[in-house]
Amino acid sequence: MFANKKGAQNPRAAQLADDSKIHILQFNKRRFVVGLKWETVRTTRNLMKEVRRIGRERKLDVVAIRKSDSTQAGFAPKTRQKLRGGYSLVVTLASLLEGCCIAVVSLGENERGEKLFTLVGKTLKGGIHPYSDEIYKEEELQQYVIDLKSDLRGNNTGMEIPVYSDTDFPFVTDEIHLKNLLIPKNLKKDYRLKPLTWGMTKNQLILLSVAAVMAIGAVAFIEHENEQREVQKRRAIAAEQLRIETINRDARYKAALAKLKHPWIDTPSVINFLHACQSMGAKIPLSIEGWTPSALECTGGEMNVTLMRPDNSAVTTQAVVDAVKKLLGADTKFFFNQTSIVNFSISEKVKANGDDPVTSSDEQLKKVISLFQSVNIEAAFNAVPVKETEKNEFGEDLPKQDWVEYTFEVNTAVPAQLVFINDDFPGVRIHKINYTLDQNNSSIQYKITGSLYAKN
């Protein structure tokens, strides 16, 4: 087993010796111990006798036992912290989590304000990896998770190893709620720490009893102090968890808010749109090699042109394609099933107008309806449905869309430049203008498509 490799133990042990201390976490009024030192114990008829022998030789206090394909023991030295009656966090999680996996658990902060964590690495056969039960700083955690995954996979390079955690890290695959998992009905006696003091000699037990009687007052005081420190530690851990939850909740809200970006921000104003269309339209000749424009479509930054071949013309498609390239530098499309027309496009940069201030629906609609009526144009308006407020997967309310949109479409013989005059039209956007040219009557028909936006 991994834990039997004493000469190849975790390389982080030396550099973090100052922080290698026993930690106690509390869930549902049960104590869970972190920081045991694990090793493989040879199996004998009396396992606890062998474990207690090791404890006597090394002056250790308590032990946790994990049985898988071999037997592993996690020892703790004597400490002022109350370990007896507690559970080994590593043994508990390795027993409750299914299959080969990794768990990352937050331990709060040390005296220098550094965030600390511990790892639980469970092998395919159920054993405990040596990286388990150590104390790690936040900045080194990801690399150890990567190394631990590699060790656990071994030759099974394609094996997926889930990473559970109560903290939001990029490498975490599954969220774990320790408060819901570590409930009394899930805990067994086998997960508890077992005392080693019963392995002492008779004289040692007598001396220990006498000392305990003489120091009962001091013990009561120490127990009270320890309890106060545990209360403070629990409060610090709870406060840190609340802080992280608040940060994550705010981040989720901001991400949802970003998806509700005002759609008119990246589009040009009405005036800029019309100027761009007029500028590009002025570049289109009334005839190119005798072929004449029959339809134009302006989308603000681009003008799409359809040229039509007049009856009995001797000018070929090739000649028109070459002429368009020479005059406007544009590539021309032609069609095998409509040989009398070709298409090409020219473009021009147009500046976005940014986040216009918008007013209420009544004000916006009244203004634009009246605008069209002033030049005797009938306009049809359609309200775009607003998505109802939803909740995310955590049950949190998502932000509400703060605008409404009405689309409009008009057909008119009045040029758009004569419709939209004397106003900047905040909250109004034109998406497209189609020009249909009648060469016989020398007339143009305009189809204007756009949107107006208002406060929701």
Q: Kindly report, residue by residue over 394-446, the tens digit of the pLDDT.
A: 767 677 888 899 999 999 999 988 888 876 789 899 999 999 988 777 788 99
> Which letter does DSSP use for residue 159 in this model?
-
Share the mean pLDDT of the chain.
Answer: 85
Percent of the chain with pLDDT over 90: 46
Tokens of 28: 């549902």
Tokens of 183: 């409930």
163: CB partners within 8 A, 6+ apart: 101, 102, 103, 104, 145, 149, 171, 172, 173, 174
Residue 283 has pLDDT above 90, yes or no: yes
Torsion of CA 120, 124, 129, 135, to 10 degrees: -10
CA 322 to chain centre: 52
Quick check: helix, strand or coil at residue 141?
helix
- Between CA 284 and CA 324 the distance in angstroms is 10
End-to-end CA distance of the chain: 65
- Between CA 414 and CA 424 the distance in angstroms is 19
Give helix then strand counts, H and E, for the chain.
11, 20
| Residue 89 burial class via C-beta count within 10 angstroms: exposed 0-12, middle 13-18, buried 19 and up | buried
Q: How much is the pLDDT for 151?
A: 92
Quickly state the pLDDT bin for 205 (edges 50, 70, 90): low
Q: How much is the pLDDT for 197?
A: 64
Percent of the chain with pLDDT over 70: 88
Q: Which of 219-223, 367-371, 446-450 has the highest mean pLDDT?
A: 446-450
Answer yes or no: are the C-beta atoms of 103 and 85 closer than 8 Å.
Answer: no
Q: How much is the pLDDT for 105?
A: 96
pLDDT in tens, 103-132: 999 999 988 899 999 999 999 999 999 999
- Comparing CA positions, the residue from 217, 119, 228 lying closest to residue 166 is 119
Quickly state the pLDDT bin for 10 (edges 50, 70, 90): very low
Please state whether the predicted TM-score (pTM) of the whole model is above 0.85. Answer: no
Quickly state the pLDDT bin for 247 (edges 50, 70, 90): confident
Domain residue ranges in the chain: 2-199, 201-259, 260-456
Rg of the Cα atoms in the chain? 38
Quick check: helix, strand or coil at residue 1?
coil
- Between CA 120 and CA 296 the distance in angstroms is 68
∠ at Cα 334 (331, 339), nearest 5°? Answer: 150
- Comparing CA positions, the residue from 90, 128, 123 lying closest to residue 107 is 90
Greatest alpha-carbon pair distance for the chain in Å reads 125
- Between CA 302 and CA 366 the distance in angstroms is 30
More confident residue, 172 or 437: 172
Quickly state the pLDDT bin for 207 (edges 50, 70, 90): low
Tokens of 325: 């390239």
| Residue 256 burial class via C-beta count within 10 angstroms: exposed 0-12, middle 13-18, buried 19 and up | middle
Q: How much is the pLDDT for 28?
A: 94
In this prediction, residues 82-87 reach a mean pLDDT of 89
Sign of CA dihedral 369, 375, 379, 384: negative
In this prediction, residues 145-157 reach a mean pLDDT of 91
Answer yes or no: are the C-beta atoms of 191 and 92 closer than 8 Å.
Answer: yes
Residue 48 has pLDDT above 90, yes or no: no
pLDDT in tens, 251-263: 766 666 666 788 8
> Which letter does DSSP use for residue 82 in this model?
-
- Between CA 82 and CA 31 the distance in angstroms is 9
Q: How much is the pLDDT for 66?
A: 92
Q: Which of 60-69, 239-248, 256-265, 403-412 has the highest mean pLDDT?
A: 403-412
More confident residue, 258 or 81: 81
pLDDT in tens, 358-400: 888 889 899 999 889 888 998 889 999 887 766 666 767 677 8
448 to each of 34, 274, 300, 431, how far by Cα in Å? 71, 11, 12, 8
